[in-house]
Structure 1
Amino acid sequence: MHARDHGKPARLLAAAFTLLATSSLFFCGALHAQTQKLEGAGAGIFTCTDARGRTLTADRPIAECSDREQRELNPSGSVRRKIEPTYTARELQEREDRAREAAVQAARITDERRRERALLVRYPNATTHDRERTEALAQVDVVSQAARKRIAELGEDRKKIDEEMEFYKQDPTKAPGAVRRKLEDNTQSVAVQNRFISEQEEEKKRVNARFDEERTRLKGLWTPQNGGNPR
């Protein structure tokens, strides 16, 4: 009588389970490979929402949605790519114009913000701004005062010239050429200085206008503590 091998059924069962697991892995791998192959082979689905709000699908780009974005889906339902609308030459130009204008506007805003920051650094409070306005106007006044002083000097010279011309008041054309030239030079110099004073008055207006414009902008940047309005 032969002894029974009690371990043989267990080994057979284990082998069966191993074979089943191997077969399952092979099947899943093959299925995944087939799916990847289908997705890479162009078997896509195109979908979009048309102008009437309908959801359309097709196996090729949809003509009804040429003016709007479409999506190409993989067989699994994931988005393979997005297709931009097809534009006419005029529409493309309009898009470029809008993009250019948006870029210009963004640059303008960025520059404005940079100027505001620089302005706030220069004038952290109302007192600083007032002081610099006063100093700027004082510099203009110094120039005007120098011109007025020069006019006073020319006035003294004119008195001497008039004394020389006294002898020729009946006929100024008989006065010596040197005296007549001094009189003309004096008259022209006074006119130049008066014109210079007028220009300085205009400069004061420009200075005040600049500081007024800055003050308006700074009021929105300053906090109540440093002279601005509450935000």
Structure 2
Amino acid sequence: MMRRLLFCLLAAVSVPAGAQSSAKAPRVFCCPDASGHQICGDVLPEQCYGKSYREMSPQGGVRRLVEAPLTPEQLARREAEERARKAEQARQRAETRRNQSLLETYSSVQDIDNRRDKAIESVQSELKQAEARYVQLQARRQGLTREAEFYQKRSMPVALANSLRESDSELAAQWSVIEVKRRDIENIRARYEQDRARYIALTDPRAPDIR
């Protein structure tokens, strides 16, 4: 029993003093007051509330720096900056995906030109059909107009009046189809021109940056 007690006492004495004191090392909190003088305490001084402060070691080293709480304006600005940063990251990811898709879609500039011409040719064929149909409708409308001239001084038959209204409606609708086809051709040209310029920028190191 005495031998065990003696062993425990020797073990306690052999523990380094630094290890014992480090667990109980006091903390010191410091911050400048309104006049710039440092105020320190083993608990956070009241003057440091709402300000940034330093937690010091007994040897004078800085253990950590605690920033002051953000004001509502600072918090709003930080959140806005974070949203802008995330939006820019999303934009860059989207641009990377778009560029990759472009390189996977086309094999060369000539490939882009060929696809553009084929797409335009298809719509131009539809445009010609729409224009031909419009000419037919115009011819029918002219025939109805000549027929209506016989009724300038008397009542026009209901069937003829209805035919005139239907003809005008068909002409307006067909002209809308023609305008849509013409816009489609312009949009195809613009889209392929954008793809062409970006493809060259991605594959030709001498090309200017189009971003």
The TM tier, using the shorter chain, reads 0.5 to 0.7
Mean Cα deviation higher: 147-156 or 90-99: 147-156
Distance 2:31 2:99 in 1: 46
Question: Which amino acid in structure 2 is aligned with residue 169 of structure 1?
Answer: F
Contact 2:28–2:41, Cα closer than 8 Å, also in 1: yes
1:101 partnered with 2:89: no
What is the aligned length?
197
Unaligned runs of 5+ in 1: 1-22
Cα deviation for residue 147 of structure 1 reads: 0.7
Distance 1:111 1:148 in 2: 40
Cα deviation for residue 124 of structure 1 reads: 4.1
Contact 1:124–1:222, Cα closer than 8 Å, also in 2: no
Cα deviation for residue 148 of structure 1 reads: 1.5
Cα deviation for residue 197 of structure 1 reads: 0.9
Aligned-residue RMSD, C-alpha: 4.0
Distance 2:23 2:164 in 1: 105
Q: Deviations over 1:192-211 (max 9, x none)?
A: 22232122212222222222
Q: Show the 5 A alignment for 1:39-58.
A: 39=25, 43-45=26-28, 58=40
1:218 partnered with 2:196: no
Structure 2 residue aligned with 1:33: 19
Q: Show the 5 A alignment for 1:140-159.
A: 140-155=123-138, 157-158=140-141
Contact 1:72–1:79, Cα closer than 8 Å, also in 2: yes
Contact 2:31–2:40, Cα closer than 8 Å, also in 1: no
Distance 1:180 1:88, change over 3 A: closer
Unaligned runs of 5+ in 2: 1-9
Given candidates 68, 71, 74, the residue that maps to 1:91 is 74
1:204 partnered with 2:182: no
Q: Deviations over 1:48-69 (max 9, x none)?
A: 89xxxx9x794566868x766x
Structure 2 residue aligned with 1:229: 207
Mean Cα deviation higher: 77-86 or 191-200: 77-86
Distance 1:158 1:91, change over 3 A: closer
Structure 2 residue aligned with 1:194: 175
Contact 1:150–1:193, Cα closer than 8 Å, also in 2: yes
Q: Deviations over 1:119-167 (max 9, x none)?
A: 222234312222222233223212212212212433554576567x28x
Distance 1:187 1:96 in 2: 58
- TM-score, structure 1 as length reference: 0.62
Distance 1:57 1:29, change over 3 A: farther
Structure 1 residue aligned with 2:150: 169
Contact 1:45–1:57, Cα closer than 8 Å, also in 2: no
Distance 1:83 1:115 in 2: 43
